[in-house]
Amino acid sequence: MIMSAAVTAQDWTFTRAQSLPPYAFVVSDAVKARVREAGADIIDLGLGNPDRPTPPEIVAQLHAAADIARNHRYHPGRGLLELRAAAAAWYARRYHVSLNVTSEVIITMGAKEGMSHLCLAVLDRGDVAVVPDPCYPIHAYAPQIAGATVEYYPASLEIPPGKAIAEAIARVEERGQRVKLVIANYPQNPTGQVISREALADLVQTVRRSGAMLLHDLAYADFDFSRRYAPSIFDCGVAADAVKAFAVEVFSMSKSYNMPGWRIAYMVGNERMIAALAHMKTYLDYGTFAPLQLASAWALEHGDRFAEEMRELYKVRAHALVEGLRAAGWKDVAEPSGSMFLWTKIPRAFAGKGSLEATAELIESAHVAVAPGIGFGPGGDDYLRFALIEDPPRLLEACSRIGRFLKTRL
């Protein structure tokens, strides 16, 4: 009998995984590894990974909750009532909106997980989602992983977001299709733009008129540099109940409280969308470890000062980096209005190079790593993103290195 060669995993096509391009932040890993191997100290401003530890008071709550045996069990899919109630109280305090903790709040394993599984729950092949360009990658890829196609709207300062979204919706409708979901994110990653209540109300009304659903990512709720709280879609001037009819919003513990590795966030709003996500999650996971949820509830109730400190820290860092870059000869750089990023055009010294090559060049020649703009959307290739994850002295060291490199290009 002739034995045919065994089929291995090598022979199969992984359509979904293979259709995804390399993730924005890993594309320059190989360059970084090579430069580090040669002994260089790279100042890495690529990934937006908060550098400060979680406040010890929050960690102490985690320790105490981890010592209680019942906290080691499986827990309800929508998250512990203690955390859902703390999330609702957070909304009531900041945004004067009342949420039903049973039907309008769900705890997720980070905002990224929540948004991804929401898209998987509500989108399908043939559906269309309207997403920002540039954007945090999951805003474009969660719909695509779910089988939908995306129509981009420019997240640029020149066009008001409501208008940009209305135009994107019109393009889709001209093709005879309907938009099912619009994704927005203010304060925005990667551009650092913030939104006024009025502009957010206009955005919300635009989506409402179109009949689409809305997902707003409020991960940087505490990082609007001009005010204490960035506006919520549920407190933008449009009646909260009307917004709840078609929209959800997600907030993450990662940024305001320096808890990125804890993987915890919450999504609130439309009960049908929340129920679809909860249903999906009953198949996929059992939620986050209860002590993480209990410590998060404590942080929401007692931790406003941590979030305020973080906003001031990023504001100071943004200012230092902008001044440093200007002094280094990087001319067209504007200060971000919020978030923890600086998004800036690639200067002419890079001789027309795209963002991947410019990033590689900065790593190799200046030993400074940034994130290439192309990783955030098709319109991002003329830009680089600096994450504000080092204190001013190291940011200024990065600027001097960049300045020395730019001089070689004059």
Q: How far apart are CA 346 and CA 348, in angstroms?
A: 7
Residues 256-295 that bind ligand PLP (CB under 6 A): 260, 265
| Number of residues forming the site for ligand PLP (CB under 6 A) | 13
Q: How far apart are CA 91 and CA 86, in angstroms?
A: 9
With tokens 């410590």, the residue in question is 295
Sole window of 109-117, 235-243, 305-313, 359-367 interacting with ligand PLP (rule: CB under 6 A): 109-117
Phi-psi region of 377 (alpha: psi -120 to 50; beta: other; left: phi over 0): left
Residues 368-407 that bind ligand PLP (CB under 6 A): none
* In the complex, minimum distance from the CB of residue 146 to ligand PLP, in angstroms, rounded to a whole number: 17
Among residues 299 and 328, whose Cβ is nearest to ligand PLP? 299
111 contacts ligand PLP (rule: CB under 6 A) = yes
Tell me if 268 sits within 8 A of 87, measured CB to CB.
yes
Phi-psi region of 275 (alpha: psi -120 to 50; beta: other; left: phi over 0): alpha
* In the complex, minimum distance from the CB of residue 50 to ligand PLP, in angstroms, rounded to a whole number: 9
Contacts of 303 (CB under 8 A, 6+ apart): 55, 57, 58, 256, 257
Q: Show the DSSP H helices in 285-374 as ranges.
A: 290-302, 304-327, 355-361
* In the complex, minimum distance from the CB of residue 409 to ligand PLP, in angstroms, rounded to a whole number: 31
* In the complex, minimum distance from the CB of residue 12 to ligand PLP, in angstroms, rounded to a whole number: 30
Among positions 116, 254, 256, 355, the unique one binding ligand PLP when judged by CB under 6 A: 254
Among residues 133 and 361, whose Cβ is nearest to ligand PLP? 133
Among residues 260 and 403, whose Cβ is nearest to ligand PLP? 260
| β-bridge mates for residue 159, sequence order | none
Amino acid identity of 358? A
* In the complex, minimum distance from the CB of residue 81 to ligand PLP, in angstroms, rounded to a whole number: 21
Sole window of 57-65, 110-118, 288-296, 361-369 interacting with ligand PLP (rule: CB under 6 A): 110-118
Q: How far apart are CA 269 and CA 87, in angstroms?
A: 12
Residues 202-221 that bind ligand PLP (CB under 6 A): 217, 219
Among positions 54, 61, 116, 252, the unique one binding ligand PLP when judged by CB under 6 A: 252
Cis peptide leading into residue 132 (ω within 30°): no
110 contacts ligand PLP (rule: CB under 6 A) = yes
Contacts of 164 (CB under 8 A, 6+ apart): 153, 154, 155, 156
Strands (E) across 143-260 are located at: 149-154, 179-185, 213-217, 247-252
* In the complex, minimum distance from the CB of residue 185 to ligand PLP, in angstroms, rounded to a whole number: 5
x/- map, 33-62, ligand PLP, by CB under 6 A = ---------------x--------------
Among residues 48 and 77, whose Cβ is nearest to ligand PLP? 48
Residues 131-150 that bind ligand PLP (CB under 6 A): 136
Contacts of 109 (CB under 8 A, 6+ apart): 263, 264, 265, 285, 287, 288
| β-bridge mates for residue 249, sequence order | 216, 268
Residue showing the smallest CB distance to ligand PLP in the complex: 110
* In the complex, minimum distance from the CB of residue 263 to ligand PLP, in angstroms, rounded to a whole number: 7
* In the complex, minimum distance from the CB of residue 376 to ligand PLP, in angstroms, rounded to a whole number: 10
193 contacts ligand PLP (rule: CB under 6 A) = no
Crossing angle between the packed helical segments 290-302 and 56-66, to the nearest 10 degrees: 140
| Token pair for 198 | 């009025």
* In the complex, minimum distance from the CB of residue 385 to ligand PLP, in angstroms, rounded to a whole number: 10
Q: How far apart are CA 148 and CA 128, in angstroms?
A: 5
Among positions 28, 54, 116, 189, the unique one binding ligand PLP when judged by CB under 6 A: 189
Residues 157-186 that bind ligand PLP (CB under 6 A): 185
Binding site for ligand PLP (CB under 6 A): 48, 110-112, 136, 185, 189, 217, 219, 252, 254, 260, 265
